[in-house]
Amino acid sequence: MSTSNRGAGSQSQPLFKTLGNDVRIVTEDVLQRGFARSIGGTLADLEEFYLSAEDRRQLAGLSGGRRLLRRIWWFIRGLLLKLTPARRILLAVGLFTLVIGRGRIDIDTVHFALRIQGLGILLVFLVLVLELKDKLVARDELEAGRAVQFALMPSDSPKVSGWDIWLYTQPANDVGGDLVDHLPLDDGRHAVVLGDVTGKALPAALLSVKLQATIRALAPYFADLGDLGAGLNRILYRDGLPTRFASLIYAVVTPDSGAVRLLNAGHMPPLLLRGDTVTTLPRGSMVLGMMPNVPFVEQQSQFDVGDTVVVYSDGVSEAMNEAEDFFGDERLHALVRQTHGLTAPQAGAHILADLKLFVGEAEQSDDVSLMVLRRLDASAVTSA
């Protein structure tokens, strides 16, 4: 999995060639989305970041020049309040000197001509450079974190005799809170994992990595999956945060057999496609890390040749399009029904293609993860 390096080495890139490519990319985006939509989306993002919900509500009730002036002032106020004290002072002084510009002050017969616009420009530029430097450093650190997170996840789907298994995850940001993993067990069986930590970006990613490490450390020592769930819950409750929880599907697959043992800790029940009928597997226990001493129960299922099980994160069912409509469970069930007869990778690709078509130009709002398990005949060769 490749990562880009935007550190000091990036300065060796030819500037004008880079700017030319940037103009081409931006032009194509504007032509595709339209100028009004591109500007409107940018303005909406700025308002959500700099203005409070009450500010946005008041703006909606204004019109014309009052709305424009109020928006500009609130943007400036929001920008200043998000800076450090020193930079807030620098920017405030810079903006003030830009406003008074080349003003003239008369005191009796003494005249003072103010020509300090240059100072204002310098101060605003200084704050811009400092903030941009922090952003670039943070972006490089996030990219390094993304590389580490993906390195900890498996690069390939597992190969289990008698099963066709496909795993997929795509974070909404540079790093994400979804966990997709698999690991062989000592008894010849194979575990596949899909977890979903509340929230997204860096805080969720850190807890996701901890969850993965805890699962890998504890899994070999628990014969009963209910006990494994209780052990995971104790550790996450002890070491986690009050507002951060994790749902989990942990399934143990038996080679050349339809027997599957399952731990569902607060996750959406997996979907079972049998023939052309889609049903949900039984619901599970509470999410991990919310309360201490919560009982967890191991589920046991027997799947027939041709059965397909689809495990997904809420980033699939709750994906939104530009009209802010949800993809929804009903649409997902109908889509899974269409995958009858497909291999696990084909079924996963079919779901993702329809999801992408539904979302359209809207930004990905949450991490998207999928796990597809298809029961094969014992003599069949598992797919890659």
CA distance 240 to 74: 37
Helix axes 15-33, 35-50, angle to 10 degrees: 100
Alpha helices in 15-156 (DSSP H): 15-33, 35-50, 53-60, 64-81, 85-100, 117-152
Model confidence, pTM? 0.74
| Best-predicted range by mean pLDDT (38-52, 131-145, 236-250, 269-283) | 269-283
Q: 127 with 92: CB under 8 angstroms? A: no
* Short-list 172, 167, 197, CA closest to 183: 167
Q: 244 with 207: CB under 8 angstroms? A: yes
Q: Of 27-31, 113-117, 129-133, 338-342, which gets the smallest average pLDDT? A: 113-117
Q: What is the overall mean pLDDT for the chain? A: 85
pLDDT tens digit sequence for 366-383: 899 999 999 997 655 444
CA distance 380 to 266: 34
* Short-list 276, 302, 205, CA closest to 244: 205
pLDDT above 90 as % of the chain = 50
| Residue 287's pLDDT band (cuts 50, 70, 90) | very high
Mean pLDDT of 133-145: 80
Q: Of 139-153, 203-217, 238-252, 301-315, which gets the smallest average pLDDT? A: 139-153
Domains and CATH numbers, the chain: 8-148 (no CATH), 153-375 (3.60.40.10)
Q: What is the reported pLDDT for 60?
A: 82
pLDDT at 36 over 70: no
Q: 158 with 217: CB under 8 angstroms? A: no
Decide: helix, strand or coil at residue 61.
Answer: coil
Angle in degrees, CA 89, 95, 100, rounded to 5: 125
| Residue 107's pLDDT band (cuts 50, 70, 90) | low
Inter-CA distances, 370 with 96, 345, 382, Å: 53, 11, 18
Q: 249 with 312: CB under 8 angstroms? A: no
Which residue in the block uniquely carries the two structure tokens 């009928």?
277
| Residue 225's pLDDT band (cuts 50, 70, 90) | very high
Which residue in the block uniquely carries the two structure tokens 């930004």?
363
Q: What is the reported pLDDT for 2?
A: 29
CA distance 378 to 46: 56
